[in-house]
Amino acid sequence: MRRILDLANNTLFVYYLVSNLIYLGLLVTALTKNTLHRHRLGSLRLERLKNSPFTPPITIVVPAHNEQNSIVDSIRSLLTLDYPEMEVVVVNDGSRDNTLEELKRAFELRPARLLYIPDVPSAPVRTIYTSWTEPRLLVLDKDSAGSKADAINAGLNLATSPYVCVVDADCILEKESLLRIMAGIFSDPSRVVAVGGIVRVLNGCQVEHGELREVRLPRRGIEVLQVIEYLRAFLIGREAWAHFNALPIISGAFGIFRKDLIKKVGGFRAHAIGEDFDLVVRLHRYLQEKNQDYHISFIPDPTCWTEVPSDIRSLARQRARWHKGLLDALWPNRDMLFNPHYGRVGSLILPYMWLFELFAPLVEFVGYASILVAAILGLLSHQFLLLFLIFGYAFATLISIGSVLLEEMTYRRYSDWREVARLLLYCLVEHFPYRQLTMIWRLQGLWQYLRGDLKWGELKRVGASAGA
């Protein structure tokens, strides 16, 4: 028994040590890349991009399912973005509330006879609407297939621009977000095929008529912890992985894609649970198999503000769904794992996603159980416990603090020192007990997927405009 417990505990220690060392390497890479990006921003002339005749048009696709509380403010916000030529396609995905009625009332919609060619299959389209007051707005009303991916595919079929920007219906983009994210494409238009922007937490911010007036931290602790998670995931994880051209995901809340490439890979997989991760992995696969020179990039300053769950039940559903989506995307592409034909995607990022993302809650659960059994039997080594606390808790906490300080040193969104102090304070409790709760929710997601529960799951929302 002692040998088994020692083996389990030592495995957990090595796992945590390697995981945190990898994240430390990502932090150093992100710091370097962020510094270079800040210097590049100093020479960026957004007005030139805005007034240039060579700036390509963009179609913003907004899938909406039961979004009556926020849909009008969100669309108004999108229509005020600084970009020379764009259209907004809202896809009402079989909403059971008043989403479509709110859009009709706010934008004076009328049925239109427009050519709709279903290049990418989706659930049947009922009606296409145009607006009397806003010629750049199209609203597509369709039957629901039970997935966000299917709604996006219908929007792709109606899009007329070479680039497509997918934005969640409950999100708010800053005015220059499109210009800033497209700057990542202009830097190397022949290679850059997709770009992701940063997603930040809207809860607690002051919003008026779909426009962000003031950035504030949420009041609830469960929301503040998500602020730290988002900062770490985007400013460290995605920025660093993009540097190695191994970015595994562009957030479904805010990303730019070449429309022709999305169609070549068959659009979004209709029944994918994590459609954003699934699409990016399939883009990597397609481009690697075609031996094309490409880059999937991340730009840290174009900002999308999104409402995050404010209650435990909704957060648990979201995290379980995210982990189901992770497995749902990794399993169909398991043949890419350690396959040299897929370059660093197959040899670097996918092994990382399997070992340190998908299996993480299982390893942690077994590790905690072994520590508890060893403590009960009096076999727990004090030296092991000290090392575990240092590398499993203190090291991970320092990385979270590093992400907050990186945010403060570069973008200073939270200008009040008291809010920065709150963020740093919450870093101390993120890895205990919040991490253990997240572990349980992710295990629930694995179990749900294995027993065939692939439901999307509703989240409780109060509406973006209620963030004031």
361-390: pLDDT as tens digits: 999 999 889 888 988 888 888 887 887 777
Angle at 448 between CA 446 and CA 450, to 5 degrees: 70
Give the burial class of 6: count Cβ atoms within 10 A of its Cβ; 0-12 exposed, 13-18 middle, 19 or more buried.
Answer: middle
pLDDT of residue 395: 85
Here the tokens at position 133 are 């007051």
The count of C-alpha atoms lying within 13 angstroms of the C-alpha of 85, restricted to the half-sphere facing its C-beta, is: 13
With residue 86 as reference, give the H or E element that holds it: strand 86-93
Nearest alpha-carbon partner for 250 in 297, 202, 190: 297
Q: What's the pLDDT at 36?
A: 78
Banded model confidence at residue 463, pLDDT cuts 50, 70, 90? low
Report the distance separating Cα 92 and Cα 83, nearest Å: 24
Question: Predicted confidence band at 404 (pLDDT cuts at 50, 70, 90)?
Answer: very high
Residue 73 has pLDDT above 90, yes or no: no
R_g of the chain computed on alpha carbons: 22
Q: Most confidently modeled of 16-30, 181-195, 256-270?
A: 256-270
Distance CA 216, CA 207 (A): 10
- Residue 296: half-sphere exposure toward Cβ, Cα within 13 Å: 28
Encoding tokens for residue 320?
């379980």
Alpha-carbon distance of 63 to 140, in angstroms, equals 10
Q: What is the CATH number of domain 46-310?
A: 3.90.550.10
Q: What is the reported pLDDT for 128?
A: 97
- Maximum pairwise Cα distance, the chain: 76
What six digits make up the tokens of 383?
């030296």
Question: 191 by DSSP, 3-state: which?
Answer: coil
pLDDT of residue 294: 97
Helix, strand, coil tally for the chain in percent (to 5): 55, 15, 30
| Pick from 111-115, 183-187, 349-353: least confident | 183-187
- According to DSSP, residue 56 is labeled P
pLDDT at 453 over 50: yes
Closest CA to 140 of 77, 106, 94, 97: 94
- Is residue 392 within 8 A of residue 14, CB to CB? The reply is no
Q: What is the pLDDT of residue 459?
A: 62
How confident is the model over 215-254, as pLDDT tens digits?
Answer: 999 999 999 999 999 999 999 999 999 999 999 999 999 9
Q: Of the ranges 34-38, 76-80, 204-208, 259-263, which one carries the lowest mean pLDDT score? A: 34-38
Handedness of CA 132, 207, 68, 279 (dihedral sign): positive
Beta bridge partners of 141: 92, 127
Amino acid in position 391: F
Question: What percent of the chain has pLDDT above 90?
Answer: 68
Interatomic CA distance for residues 138 and 271, integer angstroms: 25
- The secondary structure element, H or E, covering residue 104 is helix 99-107
Which phi and psi angles does 358 have, rounded to 5°? -65, -50
pLDDT at position 464 is 47
- State the pLDDT confidence band at 467, using cuts at 50, 70 and 90: very low
- Residue 447 vs residues 209, 271, 362: alpha-carbon distances, Å: 41, 18, 11
First to last CA, the chain: 56
pLDDT digits (tens, 9 = 90+) for 155-204: 999 999 999 999 998 889 999 899 989 888 887 888 999 999 999 999 99
160 CB-contact burial (10 Å; exposed 0-12 / middle 13-18 / buried 19+): exposed
Q: How far apart are CA 190 and CA 197, in angstroms?
A: 19
Q: Is the pLDDT of residue 468 over 50?
A: no
DSSP string, 118-178: -SS--SPEEEEEEESS-TTEEEEEE---S-HHHHHHHHHHH--SSEEEEE-TTEEE-TTHH
What predicted TM-score, i.e. pTM, was given to this entire model?
A: 0.93
Tokens of 76: 């108004």
- Which element (helix H / strand E) includes 296? strand 295-306
Question: Do 182 and 86 touch, CB atoms closer than 8 A?
Answer: no
Tell me the mean pLDDT in the region 418-444.
Answer: 94
Q: CA–CA separation, 428 vs 454, rounded Å?
A: 34
* Residue 103 in this model has a pLDDT that exceeds 80: yes
